[in-house]
Structure formats: C-alpha cells, structure tokens
Structure 1
C-alpha cells in the first residue's frame, strides 16, 4: 500500500483514538446488532464491504453483527426507528447524493442521522464506450459536445451512477457554455441495463465499474459487447493504493491513465473533478455517543492490526479508515462540492 498524506492522517487519527482507554460502553453494546445496507443485492460491493467490516467488528467487540441487504430507503427507515444501537447502517455516497438529486424518501443524512467512520473505498467507478466508438477519450467526448454532437450517457439516476454524468455536463459548461445540453442522460437501471443500452445502440457512453466491465474490455474489438474505458473517477491518491497488478488485464498504471490528471474532466477550469466511492457507517442520531466511540475504538484497533486491509485489498477495495468526527467532516465537504456541481447544471 502506498504511504501518502491520507494514510498518514488516518494513522494519526487512529493513534489518537488508541491512546485513549477502551470505551467502557463496549460492554454495553447490544449483543446482537443488525447492520442494514443500502442495497438489496448480496453479491454487490456494498454487501461485500459490509461483510468484511461486520466480521472484524463482531470478533473485536464480541458481539453478533448480521448484515441485512434491505435497500437504501428501507435501511434508513429501520435506522430511524432504532436509537438503542441494535441497528446500524453501512452505505456509501449515495446516502447523501440521492437527497441532492431529489430522490423520494431521502433526507440529508448529516442532519437526520449521525454519519460515522469511513471504512473503505471502491476505486472502480468508471465510464466506458464501445470498442468501435469514435470517441477515444473524454477529451473527444467533450469536444464533440462543444461542436454540437449529442452524446448519450447511460446512467442509473439519483446517486453514484449520476454524479459522474453531472460532472461531464459541468465540464462541458465550463469549457464551452451551452454545450452541456449535448450531454444527455439515458436513464436505465442496473449495470446489465446500462450495458444493454450500449449494445442496442441507445447510448454512446455508459457508467460502469472496473469490477463489472473490465471483462468486456478484453473482448475482440469486433465483438458487439467489446468496450473501452474512457474515464475512472477515483482520485489518483486512491488508485495509487490499488494492487499494482490491478484487475484482469487492467493494471494500476492503466487505471492511472484513465484518471486525473492524465484524463481531465474539469471541475472549475482549474482543478479536476474526482469521485471516490466511499463506504461509511451511519447511526441513529440519538444513539448513545459512548457506543459510537466504542465502535470507533474497535475499528482503530482493527485497522492497526492490519488483517482487514489485506481482505479489503484482495477484494479490490482501498482501505480507508477515518474515525467518526473526521469522516463526517470529510464527507460533508464532499457533499458540498457535489451539491455545487449539481446546482451548476440545474435549471
């Protein structure tokens, strides 16, 4: 793992927690804890990330933590009903992006809940084109929009899938005001739906991921299903912590070519837009603070031990522990940045 400023800050924060006596409330945590996640899939990255941290916390705290894939809205409702600490949630940036996009049933989690520690990042959020697409790069796509071409982008609206699309429109507007109208959404559902939209000729670009789509980039260029990456939204700091071998035939160096600064999607004309899909805990706003401190303390010890990092890296996650206070501040800053991006292209 590359040792950079972020891992240094995390280490300092963890050290500060470890310097304190273990919270007495650890003994007062419920013996059975339900960890709801904002996905209904037991095969996706949210469930996988939750399972890794739930297993580690169960062992460290000597409690039983069961991961329950109930979906975003149902998960938040369950969390809202339980202030005793018997229900906690693990989710990712969709938790606040859905509210920014006006999703029904979503609220600002920083106001209605207690946003807790970050535990991992999925560096795989990406955008792809067909292997035979005339667009070789994001520069080609933004130039085409500036020249009046209509570029159709398949996304699942309302969250992680859409934020990169919003960034594309924002970049087009910064570069050539008015050209953002030529970056248009094709609203679909799951990843298979987005893939199919490309194969059916309904979309020029799709949101995807390294994990789900790298296999299609290995196909012969004449294959209808063959794809090419054009943009990976993760920050270079995050990608630098990925295994050097990468995933499949896509090495870490290859990934860096598709990310900032090599692939630039401008935020404001001076700096690039990046998006790291981060997983973090969420608690009922009235949950006992001592219980949250106990979980923070346990996580600090778990990440100091190092075994969880090996599991996360093997599953193509970037370990990313920040204790509650630091994590909440960091994530709220992200929310404000993306809120501005979304507002710039609205109306």
Structure 2
C-alpha cells in the first residue's frame, strides 16, 4: 500500500508539473509549429541570442515547437506579412522604427504596418569598438581626430541602432569642431559579421557591436588581427547597472561600466545633455493576427516572466529583463520613437 501511495503521489506530482503546459497547449489558438523570424541575418549577434532565449522559454510554456530563423528584416517582413495566423512571428529591436525614421528602403512605420507585441529584453551592451592596434584608445581621441581633420570611418548598418549612435558621434564633433563633422564617415555594412570583417580588414576605424557578440574579441592578444577594444556603450549607466555583476565572458559589469555615458564616456547631445540609447527587443505581429492569439501570447509570456527563470537566463547573457505586454510595449515604443525622431531631425545629416 505504501508503494502504491508513493507511486500515485509521483504520478500526481508529474501531472501537476505538466498541467500548465498542457493547459496552454489546449487553449492555444495558434495551431501547429511557430516560426520566429528575426531582423538580422547573423546567428552570432545579440538579436539571435535574445530571440533564442525567449522563444525557448515560450516554447516550453505553451508546449509548441518554435524555430528561430535569422533571415534579416526584409525577408522577415515578407514572411510576417504572408502569415496572419500567428504561425510566423517576428522579433526585432528599435531598428524597426529607426529604419523608418531614417527613411531607409524597405522600412515602413511599424506602428501602422504591424501589431507591436510584447517587449522582453534590453541589451545594455550595444556599443562601439576599435581594433587593439588602433591609434584611437577612447571616444575622446576618435572625436578629436575627426575634429582635427582626420577621416574616421565608422562601420554601421544604416537606419538602426548603429546609425543613431553614429549620428550622435557626428553631432558631438559638430558641437566641438563646427564644420568638421563630415570627417566622421559612415561605412555602410550589413549584420554584425559584416561589421566585424570591416574592422579585421582595416576598412573601418570604428565599428558598432555588442558585448554579447564582441566581448570574445576583446580578450585576444593585441597582435591578433581580430583583437578589439570597447570604446563606448550607448546604454544609460543605470541600465548597465542592472546587469549581472559577472558581466559577459571574462569582462565584469564594473569593467564595462567605464564605457557608459556619464562615467567613462561623454557624447554631448547638446550643451546640457549626453546622448544615451537603450536597445530594446520586442515581438512584431501580422496586423491581421487575431486578438485571441495576441492575448494568448501576452498571457503566456507574462507567465514565463512570473516563473522567474528566463530573467536569470537573460542576465547570464548580459541582457536586462524588460517585459511589457503588447499594449504597454506599443505605448512605450511609440513614445520612444517620437522622442528619437526629434533627435534624428536635429542631428542627422
């Protein structure tokens, strides 16, 4: 009898453990597997890493197979537009609206074209790097070089978080050295691997990168062609301060804080304020996706964050957990877009 009771208890415990997933699977209005396209073609960049973390947790919660495809924004938008059922979702970041604000080909107003889904993470590690062999060791030297007539090439992906940081650099040169800002030149590339290659090949003096994708290169010896150093992280110091104290790889949070605005770096936006930018990740949905599917995913992701495990996983990869429901994310990101539209209009050349 005792063995029977123990066996029954184990079965009951197992059933209870499976109940949430089973319930979500039964209530899921999205039938079949889910494909998540991302606005990057790189599987080594921060977009793929953030998407992989959140989709793994979501798949487990709703008991559905979810595959992440790094197809880039253009192919991602096309795939998303074709499937209103919810079987294709998209994960992107602020470039969704920045590309539109910069007038880049292929970008439309995301707040009109798509439904904004939940946000789930901030990358406090978006930043800029130089080769360890570079004559420039910090942002002051880069900006002063441009101000004194040196051509400084910055590898960016046009129309996104790369370009808004570049725009801020250019404005900083203009404030300190009026008329010299054009010495800071954009080298337009594609995804993170393209920007890295531009630095390896000596085609760029500075590149946009991230702690997640580029920290490994900062640990290489100076005589290695791929060795890099960070010179600026665009996130607010208060955002970086929420990150895991262990930082990323072999670089601690305190070491990374020296590249934050107001601490080790100052990129003036005007006479009174420094430029900062938090890179946020969120879902995009087909405009015809049903309210039931949107509500279901909102609730499922809320449960994922309520469980608490995904926050720890995000922090281990140097992301800041940042969950907002679809409605909250829509309101927040629209306000953010309106704010940076003013900055772009005043800074962008």
Structure 1 gaps of 5+ residues are 1-21
SS at the partner of 1:28? coil
SS at the partner of 1:269? coil
Mapped contact 2:44–2:213 kept (Cα < 8 A): no
**C-alpha deviation, 1:169, in angstroms:** 1.0
**C-alpha deviation, 1:168, in angstroms:** 0.7
**C-alpha deviation, 1:165, in angstroms:** 0.9
Q: Deviations over 1:14-36 (max 9, x none)?
A: xxxxxxxx99x944333433322
- Are 2:346 and 1:331 equivalent residues in the alignment? no
SS at the partner of 1:141? helix
Which has more radius of gyration?
Answer: 2
Q: Supply the distance in 1 between the matched residues of 2:67 and 2:195 (Cα, whole angstroms).
A: 31
Higher relative contact order (CA 8 A, sep 6+): 1
Task: Assess, with a 3 A threshold, how the Cα gap between structure 1 residues 221 and 77 changes in structure 2: closer, same or farther.
Answer: closer
Question: Which residue number corresponds to residue 245 of structure 1?
Answer: 246
Question: Which residue number corresponds to residue 320 of structure 2?
Answer: 318
TM-score (structure 1 length as normaliser): 0.84
Structure 2 gaps of 5+ residues are 1-22
Mapped contact 1:296–1:324 kept (Cα < 8 A): yes
Q: Supply the distance in 2 between the matched residues of 1:51 and 1:132 (Cα, whole angstroms).
A: 34
Task: Assess, with a 3 A threshold, how the Cα gap between structure 1 residues 62 and 271 changes in structure 2: closer, same or farther.
Answer: same
* Residue 304 (structure 1) aligned to one of 306, 309, 331: 306
Root-mean-square deviation (Å) = 2.6
- Are 2:83 and 1:82 equivalent residues in the alignment? yes
Q: Deviations over 1:118-148 (max 9, x none)?
A: 1112222221223343333212222333333
Count of matched residue pairs: 326
Question: Which residue number corresponds to residue 343 of structure 2?
Answer: 341
**C-alpha deviation, 1:234, in angstroms:** 1.8
Mapped contact 2:146–2:183 kept (Cα < 8 A): yes
Matches of residues 1-347 of structure 1 in structure 2 within 5 Å?
A: 26-262=27-263, 263-347=265-349
**C-alpha deviation, 1:43, in angstroms:** 4.2
Task: Assess, with a 3 A threshold, how the Cα gap between structure 1 residues 268 and 328 changes in structure 2: closer, same or farther.
Answer: farther
Q: Supply the distance in 1 between the matched residues of 2:278 and 2:312 (Cα, whole angstroms).
A: 20
